[in-house]
Each structure stands twice: as structure tokens, then as C-alpha cells.
Amino acid sequence: MRTKLVAVLAGALVAIAGTAGAQGTPAAQGTPAQGKPAAGAKAPAAAKGKTEVTWWGHAAFVVRTPGGATIAIDPWLTNPKAPQGAAQPEALDAILLTHGHFDHVGEAKALAQKTGAKVFGSFELINLLGLPEAQAVGGNVGGTFKVKDATIHLVEAVHSSSYQADPKAPAQYAGSALGYVVAIDGGPTLYHAGDTGPFEGMSLIATQFKPTVAMLPIGGHFTMGPAEAAQAARLLKVQSVVPMHYGTFPLLQGNPDALRGELKKLRGPAKVVDFEIGKPTAL
Ligand SMILES: [Zn+2]
């Protein structure tokens, strides 16, 4: 049953991957992406019974579940690769932050203020953000939370975390970096690795949560590159890898084709699924 579901999912994702182009050349930080098609003014509601995931470039995703939960992960929605002219989400139930670096916290505070969303992250990071108490959900590795039909698990990541509230002041310690597993009732189980290198605990994530789709950084320099991400896919036992955190800046040189090559060497089942930035993908 599970095998069949995974096969169907993998097939759908491969079909989508076929329509997605390369993500273009890296743009300098703060420079708007050129030649990017403008996304629709308003994202359509999730198709009935489907989970829809929209990549905003870099590590930013917006997930809409069949039960009506809208969840933003690392919402740096003004990153250099973000779809031009796209309307930012008007309604959010939850914002998940993997760590405190600016390219992951992004516009979380403004989005929380606009939507009333609960903001999840490490205890230390959430304290530094100074959110209203009702919206601040500081947790740590091992924590599990429910948002409508999504069960959210905070998991390990191997990375640093600091947050700089004031550009003139030093960055402050922001707790452990995190990854997230988002298990959707009757739908896919997504794993967003945040910024990380590969680590043995990914085997435990596979055993415990059985993720079906992994969003993995592949840019290198600050995170895994393609070779390490292929090892991560093997440890996670996932069928589908959505590459992220590449091409945003010139330093992040990994690319999906390099990941394909590395996965081929390992002869594992995982396939690379390129999400088209700004286009909702049904899972
Ligand atoms: Zn980082």
C-alpha cells in the first residue's frame, strides 16, 4: 500500500520535474531575479485532497494542506530568486523557522503580524524575535506540535544559529538549528532539512517519521553540497528530493544536475524533483 502510494507520488513529481526549467544563474544578494515569470497575484486554494507546496526560492516554502492549514517554512520571501510580483500569503496558520540566520527568518515577523500565525522555532530564537505571547512557540529537537491536519516534528540539524535583530549590534545566540518533519493526515510526510550537513541521525528520522519527500540544501559552502545531499537521501530512504538553498548567491554552487549525478553513483531509489519557483506543486 505504502509502496504504491510512494510510486504514485514519485510519478507525479517526475512529471512535474519534466516541466520545470533550470533555476537560472545565481543573482547577487539583493538584486531582483531577471526574466522570472511573475506568479499569479493569488495562489489558488489547495486542490481537494491534495497538499500543495510552493517554493519561493532559497529555503522558503509555503505548504497548503487538504485540511486547510497554510504553513510557511523559512519565509525569506524577498530573496533574489523569489517570484517577481507574487503576492505574499494573506493567511498563515504557522511559520516554521529552522534557525536564526537572515536568509531563513526572512519576513517572519511581518508575516506573523499580518496573519496572526504561530511562529515555531528554537526556544532561544523565538525569545529573540519578541513576538506576542500567543504567537510564540519556542521548542526544541524532539518537540511535536499539531496545526490542523499537519503534525510538525522538530528534528536535528547540524548547523549554527544566531539572530541579528539590529544590524548595528552583534548577532545573538539563537539556540540549536532545527529541521522539520511535517506529516500531513492522509498526505505526504515532508522533511525540510533547514541548513545542515549530512548526519547519522537522518537514519532515525527515516525510521521514526518515514518522510516521503525531502527538501535538502545542495548549494554547499554553508550546507551540504550535491554529494552530501545524495548521502542524506540514502540515509533518509526518501523517493523524492527537492533541492533548495542553491544558486541564490554565487557561493552556493551546487545544482540539481550535480545531485542527479551523485544519486546515480549511489544507485538509490531517490529522484530529484525540481520545483519551479512560484508554482504550486500538488503532492
Ligand atoms: Zn544558516
The CATH number of the domain holding residue 128 is: 3.60.15.10
Ligand 1 centroid to 227 CA: how many Å? Answer: 19
Q: Is residue 34 part of a domain?
A: no
Tell me, what's the pLDDT at 47?
56
The answer to whether position 152 is within a domain reads: yes
SS (H, E, C) 92-133: CCEEECCCCCHHHHCCHHHHHHHHCCEEEEEHHHHHHHCCCH
Tens of each residue's pLDDT in the chain, 283 residues: 444 444 444 444 444 443 333 333 333 333 333 334 444 444 445 556 899 999 999 999 999 999 999 999 999 999 999 998 888 999 999 999 999 999 999 999 999 999 999 999 999 999 999 999 999 999 999 999 999 999 999 999 999 999 999 989 999 999 999 999 999 999 999 999 999 999 999 999 999 999 999 999 999 999 999 999 999 999 999 999 999 999 999 999 999 999 999 999 999 899 999 999 999 999 9
What CA–CA distance (Å, rounded) separates 227 from 220? 9
pLDDT number for residue 85: 87
User: Is beta strand 213-217 parallel, antiparallel or unpaired with respect to 189-192?
Assistant: parallel
Does 144 map to a domain? yes
How far does residue 196's CA lie from ligand 1's centre (Å)?
8
Q: 9: CA distance to ligand 1 center in Å?
A: 30
Is 35 within a domain?
Answer: no
Query: Is residue 33 in some structural domain?
Result: no
What SS3 class is residue 231? helix
State the distance from the centre of ligand 1 to the C-alpha of 256, rounded, in angstroms.
20
Query: What is the 50 CA–ligand 1 centroid distance (Å)?
Result: 31
- Number of independent structural domains in the chain: 1
Distance (Å) from CA 274 to ligand 1 centroid: 22
Task: At 46, give phi and psi (nearest 5°).
Answer: -60, 135
The Cα diameter of the chain in Å comes to: 55
**Ligand 1 center to residue 103 CA distance, Å?**
7
Residue 31 belongs to a domain:
no
Domain presence at residue 27: no
**Residue 97 and residue 77 in contact, taking contact as beta carbons nearer than 8 Å:** no
List the domain range (segments joined by +) for residue 77: 2-19+46-282
Please tell me the distance between residue 54's alpha carbon and the centre of ligand 1 in angstroms: 21
In a domain, 26, yes or no: no
